[in-house]
Amino acid sequence: MIQLRLDTNTLFLDGDLEHSDIALLETALPAHLATIRSLDCMDLDIEDGAALACLARVLKDAARAGRITIHGAPQLLAHTLYRVNALDRFDWPALRWDEASTQ
């Protein structure tokens, strides 16, 4: 499960991104990204492909209103946004190059 946490002008996305998080991504995340343009993903781990696709879609939609800075994005998130032709809508000050794991 992920947790959304707001601190100053940054929204923190922490925890394991799982299929059960899709509803939260579709409701709470767009509301926060309407005013907050900085997302910290340093403590985000992606565990589910459908949830990743949902996160990418929500971020792409939110970026239509202006650039979003994503700190510590997992490489898989950046790659997914690249695949949907949205990579240039974001600033990437620190990209994580985590290795994939099989659990």
Q: How far apart are CA 63 and CA 90, in angstroms?
A: 7
Residue 99 has pLDDT above 80, yes or no: no
- CA count, 13 A, side-chain hemisphere, 56: 21
* Entry pTM: 0.91
Domains, the chain, ranges and CATH?
2-96 (3.30.750.24)
Long-range contacts of 81-84 (CB under 8 A, 24+ apart): 81/56, 84/56, 84/57, 84/60
Q: 3-state DSSP helix/strand/coil percent for the chain, to nearest 5?
A: 45, 35, 25
- Give the tens place of pLDDT for each residue, 20-72: 999 999 999 999 999 999 999 999 999 999 999 999 999 999 999 999 999 99
Q: Ramachandran region of residue 8, left (φ > 0), alpha (ψ -120 to 50) or beta?
A: left
